Every structure is written in C-alpha cells, then in structure tokens.
A and B are shown apart, each in its own frame.
Chain A
C-alpha cells in the first residue's frame, strides 16, 4: 500500500499497517452508515496511514471539521477523529445540538489518547448521551518515510518548556514502547537532556508493566539515542541548505505533501496522467480536494518512493542544480536515441523503457520547477544577508556585541519573526548574552514593535532561546572539540555532514556521529557536560530469573551484531529539521559507519515553524 515505507531491517510498513488496522477495527465496530469528520490537524496524519479508497470501499465520506456543520438526514453515525483538545469539544457540542435526531449516534476517536478533560467538557455540556463510542486510536509515531517516523505534534517543545505540559513526552514514551512491541527490544540506550531523560524514564516504567518486552529476543533495532531539542537550539534556527530543507522553509512540507500554485507546473496535467507514481499523487490530490477547497494548487508527494527525489532531497542546493542539469541532459540523450534507432530490437527495448522514462521526465520537470522557485528566493538580497549574518554567528565572530545587522533590521521594522530568529541564533552561539546586550535588544524591540513584544520575549526566555550568559561557553567549546564548523567545506560530493548548512554541522547529528565510534559515547560524555540536562545511558538486557523464564537468544545475536549493519533509532524530543535528517542519512551512507538510522521525532520543524510555535502565546 505504501511502497516507500518498505526497508530491509526496520520495516515501517508494519507500523502503518498496525495503525490502519486499528482504525478499521474501530470503524467496523460501528454499525450503519457513517461519515467521518476530521480535525484539521488529523487530515495529514490520516493520509500517512490510510488511502482514500479504504473509505470509499466502505462508502464513508470524509469531512473536515468546521464550527458549523449540518449532516444529511440518512446518516446514522457520525465519527469524529480528533486530537484531544478541549476547544474542539465545544465545536462537537454545537454539532450535537444542531444535528441530533432520533437514532443518530456520535462517536469520537481520540488520537492518540482520550483525555479526561475532553470527556469532562462533554459531560458538563450534557451531551454525553449522544455519544456512542469514545475510543482512542493509539497513533503515536506515524511513518513518514522508510526511515522517519513523526508524532506530528508541532507544539511538543513549546508545551513542555513553556507551558509545562509533559503530555508530549509521555506520548513519545508510549510510542517507544509501541515501537519495541513491533520491532523488538532495544538493548542499548543513550540519551542527553532533561526532556529526553523524562521520556526514557516513562518508557522504562511502561515497559516494566509489559514483561514480554524483556523476555523477547533482541529486536531489529540495536540502539536508541534520545536527544533533547534543548541541547541544540542553534540548529533548528539556522537556515537549512539542503534541497528538502529549503523546500520546507519556503513552502512548508506537510506530511510529505507539498502544495504549490499550479501555475508553476505548466505541463503537469498532460504528463501526470501517463505515469504510475503520479497515481499516488493524484489519490492524495483527490483526498485533498475532498477535504479542502483549494483552487489552482498542485500537491506533490515528496518521499523516497520517488527515485529522483530520494536522490535530491538530502543534497546541498548547490549540488541539486548540477544534478538537475545532468538529469535533463540524460533524458534528452535518451529521447534523441529515438531518432536514430536502427534495429527493431532496439526500438522494442526503447518502447519498453518508455513509461519509465516518461516518469523520469515528469519527476525532473517537477523538480526543476521547484528548484527554479527556490533559486529565485535564494537570489534575494535579504536571504543572503540573513545567511551571512547567521554564519558569522556560527563562527562566533563579534558574538558578544549587539549585532549591527540586527539593529538595522529592527530599525527598518522588518519582520519580527526573522529578527527574533537571528537574535536567538546569536544567543545560542554565544551561549547567552551579556546583561547589557540583552537589555539593549529588548529595549530596541519594544520601541519598534510595541510593548506586546515583551510577551513574546518572555516566552522565548522560558523556552531557553534567550538567556543571560552562563559560566560555560558550551557552543564555543564544542565548536572546537566536535568541529561543528568546518573551514574547507565542500557542498558538492561532500565528505562531512557539515554540508547541510554549508559549513555548520548540526550538533545533534555530530553527537550521533561520535557515538557511533567505539567507546564513542563514553568519550562524548565529558565533552557534552556543558550542555544542559543529564547525560544517561541504559541497557535493557533480557531479564533472567523472573518466573524462571529465560530471555534466550540474546547472546548469539549480540555477537553477530558486529558484522551486520547496526540499526540505530534516533529520537529527537522536541522536533528535528530536514537538515538533521539529511545529515544522519549521509552518515548512514558512509560505508565505514556500517549503520542504519531510523529517525523518530515529535515533528519535523524548520526555523519558521519552530520559532512560531515558541513565540505564539
């Protein structure tokens, strides 16, 4: 169903299938005709685990959730799939009041968990009677790609650090246990950071209740690394320079889907219908059209199922340009062969290759269009100036003074979001501002953007993005010890992960890289002491002796571990960027690392979404 999720060792299709099964079970338990109403935040995730035709087979309609809704008379069941948010409950209450009639039942499927607050809210509004089933769909990690799972919780970092709501961490822990249930016990665990530690503590607690985890064989995943967003706040704020990262920053990729104005793709209608993979895209488009009334927009599916995108996504943009040129040439050559075919045999083989070639051509034309759009954006002065300022901070140039570039931006009343991003970036690189500098920025910001900006600033302070200087200069030290910035960076055919930001290697990815080395984590420990939060490690060995049962099978597989590719699950608590994913994929592609990554995150973030979620009050 989702071919792009398949992979050798950790087959994430299992995850998708189990999620889909749960949904089907819930739906089949409800008798009679039904309609599904989706919370805005659930439309994308649902597309990740199911195909529209699943619903068509059962003749179920999908509708987006709106405050005012009227349902046709003949429907006897209305099923809501929602996030457990109290605000949404009020909408449901309104629906029930306007639409209730004899024999009609309402059902709610909470994703990923039922919340007492929501149910209390329903009780208070005295509509509980109208609801039949209140169930949960335990979708914690949703498969995005063959090596990426995401919880699709954008506000995870904000919830924990600003609002003090640790639900997201608990969810992540449940997700970890789920993953272990599917893929077996993870023997080795490393982690860094407060939130990461909390996740692991929860997960351990949950696993104790479930003894089978300990008794089973070592699973497909050999190692777990939990990283807290809080240890590396610089990477999410920096501009990503990989193809995928740039697309995300400019246009936003939502659950693998990219939506762009169709005008940029002149020929897509004609080419689309002839290709096979486009069917997937079209199915997605259909569901999109079902659920929203976008006008002339084109939705592209972006995942490694598409050959060309898999090749391009993780490259530095400068390399993407070259690759696209080469692809276009290749296609031209292949097409030109046509005119000088000699034998019938050759023509035959050519015709056989036609669909494949057309597919390639379509993909290339799509991506040249996207690349063209990005290229335009990259040429703007503002982008390059911002980037230059960023890179100066990264190499710690003049980091303790207030930056005149930022001052100019403020004076020109440019976008608050970007200004704050640069300030936070400087703060992260300098490991905190001097009191005087911080106050200077605050004063300037309040002068220009009004007093309300103080609220935003206090949010940033709580999130640890802005703070006064601390004793240790973690970034400056680590920059040297871990080579976070590389002098002679190569963007084309890179040898080091730093290419994802042109010359800066995301700290998180670097940590993972070092931990792969023999005794890597031990030697890292002392180096990352400066970073906030505890460093921890743990082992889940098969428990021997409980009830006389043996774990069994543990040791032999442990020895063969040296030869087989290790599978490492990296969990980013609080989100990760496409650049970081690209960096990890790059590491996995290096022969001598002999490793394969599965990346788990609360949400894929970029400089914009991350800061916005923290800024908003």
Chain B
C-alpha cells in the first residue's frame, strides 16, 4: 500500500477512485471511504459553483471548510445535509456553527444555543 501514496499527491479528481481502490486493496477501509467521500464532495462543489449565487469557487476545500463556507453564506440546510452525509460529529458541527455565527456578529442567533 506504499505506492498508492505516490498517486495521491496528484490530488486529481480522476485519480480518486483509483486511490480509493488501492486503499481498499490494502485493507484500509477508512482511507478508502474518505476517498469516496472526497469524490462526492468534489461533485457537490461543482454543482454549487454552477449556481448563480455561487460566488467564489469552493473546489479544493476540505469537507470541513466547505461546510464552513456554506454556513457563512447562510445555507444552513445544505450544511446540515452535508453533516449527515459525511457523518460529521455533532461536537464539531456546533463548533462550526458557533464560529461562523460569531464571525458574522449574529449574536441573537448565538443566544439561542
């Protein structure tokens, strides 16, 4: 399972399934799963980029950063969907919410916690 690392550094979308496969061959289920997640994430980021209000592109961001970005844009629903999709623990999700709300000085929202 050493050589798949070499491919990984390319970091290209097309390579992801390949890397995922080699990981699962090397019996690294978590890593394989994460690769699949990332592939899905890239797809989702693309659909976002195509939206009219997309703003700056989110591609290349990690799952965490993507969710942060979504929250910053106020797309709570999307972010929550991502949370269940990628099994983000509650704890981290609340951190994100708190940080983004504080960033936008949305104190009234913060009070509700």
Contact = CB atoms under 8 A, between A and B. Distances in A.
Interface in A388-415: 404, 407-408, 410-413
Given A446-B34, A454-B8, A455-B8, A413 B91 contact: no
A589 interface: no
A312 B91 CA distance: 44
A451 B35 contact: yes
B92 A410 contact: yes
A412 B63 contact: no
Contact of B62 (A448, A458, A617): A448
B69 interface: no
Interface string B68-82: 000000000000000
Nearest to B68: A413
B31 A447 contact: no
A407 B34 contact: no
Interface string A430-447: 000000000100111011
A450 B34 CA distance: 10
B50 interface: no
A447 B91 contact: no
Contacts of A488: none
A444 B90 CA distance: 12
Nearest to A440: B89
Contact of B95 (A408, A449, A455): A408
A452 interface: yes
B30 A439 contact: yes
B62 A411 contact: no
Interface in A413-472: 413, 439, 442-444, 446-452, 454-455, 458
A446 to B, nearest CB: 5
Interface residues on B, range: 20 to 34
Nearest to B60: A450
Contact of A448 (B11, B30, B33, B64): B64
Contacts of B62: 446-451
Contacts of B21: none
Contacts of B25: none
Contacts of A442: 30-31, 34
Nearest to A404: B91
B107 interface: no
Interface string B42-69: 0000000000000000000111110000
Contacts of B34: 442-443, 446, 451, 454
Interface in B1-34: 1, 5, 8-9, 11, 30-31, 33-34
A443 B30 contact: yes
Nearest to A462: B2
B27 to A, nearest CB: 12
Contacts of A449: 62, 64
B96 interface: yes
A444 B99 CA distance: 18
A412 B99 contact: yes
B17 to A, nearest CB: 13
A447 B99 contact: no
A407 B62 CA distance: 17
A411 B30 contact: no
Interface in A24-41: none
Given A411-B91, A458-B5, A451 B11 contact: yes
B45 to A, nearest CB: 13
A163 to B, nearest CB: 11
Contact of B91 (A407, A452, A458): A407
B89 A407 contact: yes
Given A443-B30, A443-B34, A452 B92 contact: no
Contacts of B110: none
Nearest to B66: A447
A462 B33 CA distance: 21
A404 B96 CA distance: 15
A127 B72 CA distance: 59
B9 A411 contact: no
Nearest to A453: B62
B9 A412 contact: no
B92 A444 contact: yes
A449 B60 CA distance: 11
A451 B92 contact: no
6 contacts: A404-B91, A442-B31, A442-B34, A448-B64, A450-B61, A458-B1
| 4 nearest CB pairs, A to B | A411-B95, A450-B62, A448-B64, A411-B92
